[in-house]
Amino acid sequence: MEPPRLAPTMSSPTSPCEEVIKNLSLEAIQLCDRDGNKSQDSGIAEMEELPVPHNIKISNITCDSFKISWDMDSKSKDRITHYFIDLNKKENKNSNKFKHKDVPTKLVAKAVPLPMTVRGHWFLSPRTEYTVAVQTASKQVDGDYVVSEWSEIIEFCTADYSKVHLTQLLEKAEVIAGRMLKLSVFYRNQHKEYFDYTREHHGNAMQPSVKDNSGSHGSPISGKLEGIFFSCNTEFNTGKPPQDSPYGRYRFEIAAEKLFNPNTNLYFGDFYCMYTAYHYVILVIAPVGSPGDEFCKQRLPQLNIKDNKFLTCDEEDGVLVYHHAQDVILEVIYTDPVDLSLGTVAEITGHQLMSLSTANAKKDPSCKTCNISVGR
């Protein structure tokens, strides 16, 4: 039997969430805060002795749900009809403030066997710290509530997107990827100082670094996966890399087969935009059996290197041939060090377009093209 799902107390009968709410009793009530302060219109009766939840346990945490359970004294336990849950983002110090219009932090559900699942993308976001406190309540015949004191406040953090969620993002990205164009090199733009430092301090080898927090808030690679960013998009009219770059006037170019070949695996990492008309897709290339490969296998959808909508490597007449999607900007992360001697470094002739930088870029949460129906 599916566990009951909680819903905001202020939901209306026409709420778009109504169809997914089961076994719930929604009450249009104004709850007291964690200190027991009540408004004049709260509809909550004078405090009577109901068991106070303690030893709160949070488990089965996903990007948009969690299970909650607690212990209670047996006294008056049979009088409990409802649970009140005060759920807040950790940075929100005022437990009575609404996150946004018509979505209160207070949740109410009928008393059901514990643990109880709290689920709802309309108020839970991935990789976000929350605080939660619980109150037991007894609904009276006149509609008023008798309530317990609030429990202790517990902190927890929601999880990253799962493979299921990333597969949903992948499917949305495939829709707009466009036709495939040929490519021959991967390239990485940086300032001259970056390449000088690599030669002097890292034995000529570019080193992987931890990915920043750009892209989807729930992406499991942000702040965790180590790699080196490369680009592979080409200009439609020349078939070559563009001469402009937001990341520096010096470019390292390397033959595609040196990084991407049958001895590497390819993974889908993210799909996002930054309040612009164009969209970005993050792909990860990892040598088979490498630490980066093991990291990605656990977290990311794997792509067939010969047959996918974004970046392919196939053999024609004994030669590896490469294609990339035309209508998305590909950001490729290679998970191992790359020696500069495998390619060339030269100054580009174009402009440094800082407006195209994706460093720590925030995803547009309102875009219907690149968002899925879980917490942003």
Q: Please, are residues 145 and 163 in contact by the beta-carbon 8 Å criterion?
A: no
> Could you tell me what percentage of the chain is helix, strand and coil, using 3-state DSSP and rounding each to the nearest 5?
15, 35, 55
- Maximum average pLDDT range among 75-84, 241-250, 337-346: 337-346
Is residue 84, in this structure, part of any structural domain at all?
Answer: yes
More confident call, 31 vs 321 = 321
Same domain, 138 and 227: no
**Structural tokens at position 362:** 């925030």
Residue 334: pLDDT band (50, 70, 90) is very high
Is residue 239, in this structure, part of any structural domain at all?
Answer: yes
Are β-strands 280-287 and 329-334 bridged in parallel, bridged antiparallel, or unpaired? parallel
Q: Is the pLDDT of residue 9 over 60?
A: no
Same domain, 167 and 154: no
Same domain, 221 and 339: yes
Same domain, 242 and 314: yes
Cβ neighbours of residue 142 under 8 Å, at least 6 residues apart? none
Q: Is the pLDDT of residue 294 over 70?
A: yes
Mean pLDDT of 350-366: 66
Is residue 272, in this structure, part of any structural domain at all?
Answer: yes
Q: Is the pLDDT of residue 357 over 70?
A: no
Mean pLDDT of 294-318: 96
Among 106, 140, 158, residue at a domain's last position:
158
Distance, CA of 301 to CA of 52 (rounded, Å): 44
Q: Per residue in 92-101, is it b (16+ CB within 10 Å) or e — as a string?
A: eeebbeebee
118-122, 203-207, 249-253, 326-330 — which is least confidently predicted? 118-122
Same domain, 86 and 227: no
Is residue 35, in this structure, part of any structural domain at all?
Answer: no
Task: Note the pTM of the prediction, 2 decimals.
Answer: 0.79
Mean pLDDT of 356-370: 76
**What's the confidence (pLDDT) of residue 83?**
92
Same domain, 212 and 334: yes
Same domain, 192 and 288: yes
Mean pLDDT of 305-321: 95
Is residue 275, in this structure, part of any structural domain at all?
Answer: yes
Same domain, 97 and 65: yes
Same domain, 201 and 311: yes
Beta bridge partners of 311: 324
Domain span at residue 334 reads: 163-347
Is residue 355, in this structure, part of any structural domain at all?
Answer: no
Residues in the chain: 376
* 341 DSSP assignment: G
The dihedral through the CA atoms of 200, 206, 209, 214 has a sign that is: positive
Cβ neighbours of residue 75 under 8 Å, at least 6 residues apart? 49, 51
Q: Considering the chain, what is the average pLDDT of its residues?
A: 82
Distance, CA of 231 to CA of 226 (rounded, Å): 16
More confident call, 167 vs 275 = 167
User: How open is the CA angle 139-5-40, to the nearest 5 degrees?
Assistant: 35
Same domain, 65 and 140: yes
Is residue 359, in this structure, part of any structural domain at all?
Answer: no
What domain count does the chain have? 2
Same domain, 106 and 227: no
Distance, CA of 376 to CA of 371 (rounded, Å): 7
**What's the confidence (pLDDT) of residue 124?**
84
